[in-house]
Amino acid sequence: MTGPLRWFRALPLRTRLAMLVATAVAVAVAAVAASCWFVTKAQLDEQMDDSLRRSKVDSNYLASLYAYCRGATPLPPRPFSGAYTVQLIDSQGTVCIAPKISPLPVSSDDIAVTEREQDYALHSATAENGTKMRVFTYPLVQLAQPPGDTTGHIAVSIARPMSEVDDPLSTLAWVLLIVSGIGVIGAGAAGLWVARAGLRPVDELADTVEHVARTEDLTLRIPVEGEDEIARLSHSFNSMTAALATSRDRQAQLIADAGHELRTPLTSLRTNVELLARSEETGRPIPPDDRTALMKSVTAQMTELASLIGDLQELARPDAAQPGPLQVVGLHDIASAALERAQLRGPELTITADLEPWYVRAEPGALERAVVNVLDNAVKFSPQHGTIAVALHGGELTVVDQGPGIPEEELPYVFERFWRSPSARQLPGSGLGLSIVARTVQQAGGEIVLRPAPTGGTEASIRLPGAPQPPPESS
């Protein structure tokens, strides 16, 4: 079965569907045709048997036939009217039949009827000339026998040729065969047409997929018609290509934005390095103050470049789209650790903290980076000797600085990649920090909002679902 099955699977789908439809119709038609033939045969056989049972043979003909077989008269009897074969049988199995008529073999049932052991016999037999006959034998009780005749009881066998049944059945079989063949061929053609019509959207989908694979054109769409499975498949393909196109556009935009952001620190760094190299080559030393400023600039640019590369690596992590293993962590503990780092980066700033215990389910490393990024922004934009207020109450972490604030028209863009406020373009940063924060908070099931602080500056609010006490399994 492996060879035929492999051959069948290698055929085109529409051909397989047409063959399956034709096979199903062939099986159904064959079952109906066979049932019709057997039912008709049973009815015809029953009708022939009933006709033989109801047949009445003229007693004068039987007397003439008996007298002829005993030699009482030299003349043969007149033929029996009707399409019947009639013969007499005695208890010794001797057959008496008219001349030029092929006799029928005598069976044990016929002898039993002659001996009056059974009322009648009904069976099939083949005459001496090879004709198949249906035979009905019954006892003969009214027949004058000559004196001294010792033949005993006599029975009459009436037979009709089986061709009366076989010929109509043969004709019916040919008719059923021809009609079945036409039906199967028509079913195969209809199945092929239905398969072609039904698979036309699949062909269009395949052509579209091949076109997309060949040209990488993700703007191509398949028309969606109806609400069946093919329509769902087409809609899913269109959604997939749209998502791929969007992803590719975002990737291209990310690369372009990254290249643009990398170009500025690299250009400045290259200029400063060339100045240092030219000073060494020409033997003209740079004044100490200028050299110190130049080295500070190189260090700042390298720090900015490293920060930008780190943010890009964070966005390009394989698990960026899917969060890592979630754990129950204390948001207040993470905020305390982030506060220590922020105090080191802005020692001249005053940072106040009011942190209530709050336990959340999140990825610890990613959540800590998010909180650190928010505090870094507050440190970066706060004036010297300014104050940063950090509070955690009821699952809401707020960071309020005294910086210049963010204009209301710019608030919708603060979480976009590489977006930087025009007023902050001169400050170090990549424009990726807040986008990373937003992604991390959303993966933890929370939300982040930036809004103007009531006392001036900016207020960052991070709200995460959790509880003031850790769950029993984590304690």
Work out the pLDDT band at 319, boundaries 50, 70, 90.
very low
Helices 163-215 & 13-54, crossing angle to 10 degrees?
A: 170
Contact 100, 30 (CB under 8 A): no
Let me know whether 434 and 353 are in one domain.
yes
Task: Compute the average pLDDT of residues 382-410.
Answer: 85
Contacts of 438 (CB under 8 A, 6+ apart): 415, 448
**Average pLDDT of the chain, as a whole number:** 79
Residue 89 in any domain: the answer is yes
Residue 1 in any domain: the answer is no
Residue 122 in any domain: the answer is yes
Residue 223 in any domain: the answer is no
d(CA 119, CA 185): 53
Let me know whether 407 and 292 are in one domain.
no
Work out the pLDDT band at 122, boundaries 50, 70, 90.
very high
**Per-residue pLDDT tens digits for 364-391:** 877 887 888 888 888 888 888 888 889 9
Q: How far apart are the first and last CA of the chain?
A: 62
Let me know whether 124 and 148 are in one domain.
yes
**Per-residue pLDDT tens digits for 127-177:** 888 889 999 999 987 665 554 455 568 899 999 999 888 899 999 899 988
- DSSP annotation of 429 reads -
Question: How large a percentage of the chain has pLDDT more than 90?
Answer: 10
d(CA 174, CA 128): 29
d(CA 173, CA 176): 5
Let me know whether 186 and 54 are in one domain.
yes
Total-model pTM:
0.46
- Residue 224 gets the label, from left (phi > 0), alpha (psi -120 to 50) or beta, of beta
Let me know whether 44 and 183 are in one domain.
yes
Beta-carbon count within 10 A of 443 CB: 19
Domains identified in the chain, total number = 3
The CATH number that applies at residue 303 is: 1.10.287.130
d(CA 63, CA 77): 9
3-class SS shares of the chain: helix, strand, coil, % to 5? 55, 15, 30
Question: Pick from 141, 175, 198: which residue ends a domain?
Answer: 198
Let me know whether 283 and 421 are in one domain.
no
Residue 52 in any domain: the answer is yes
d(CA 376, CA 343): 10
The dihedrals phi and psi of 102, each to the nearest 5 degrees, come to: -70, 125
The dihedrals phi and psi of 131, each to the nearest 5 degrees, come to: -80, 130
Residue 7 in any domain: the answer is no
Task: Compute the average pLDDT of residues 402-408.
Answer: 79
Residue 347 in any domain: the answer is yes
Structural domain harbouring 266: 229-315
Contacts of 423 (CB under 8 A, 6+ apart): 404
The CATH number that applies at residue 354 is: 3.30.565.10
Let me know whether 287 and 372 are in one domain.
no
Let me know whether 47 and 97 are in one domain.
yes
Question: Pick from 152, 180, 198: which residue ends a domain?
Answer: 198
At residue 301's C-alpha, the angle toward residues 295 and 303, to 5°, is 105
Which residue has tokens 């643009």?
260
- pLDDT given for residue 174 in this prediction: 92
Let me know whether 348 and 308 are in one domain.
no
Detail the DSSP E strand segments found in 195-238: none
C-alpha R_g of the chain:
53
Residue 139 in any domain: the answer is yes
Let me know whether 346 and 308 are in one domain.
no
Let me know whether 308 and 331 are in one domain.
no
Let me know whether 306 and 345 are in one domain.
no
Q: How far is CA 309 from the centre of its chain?
A: 43
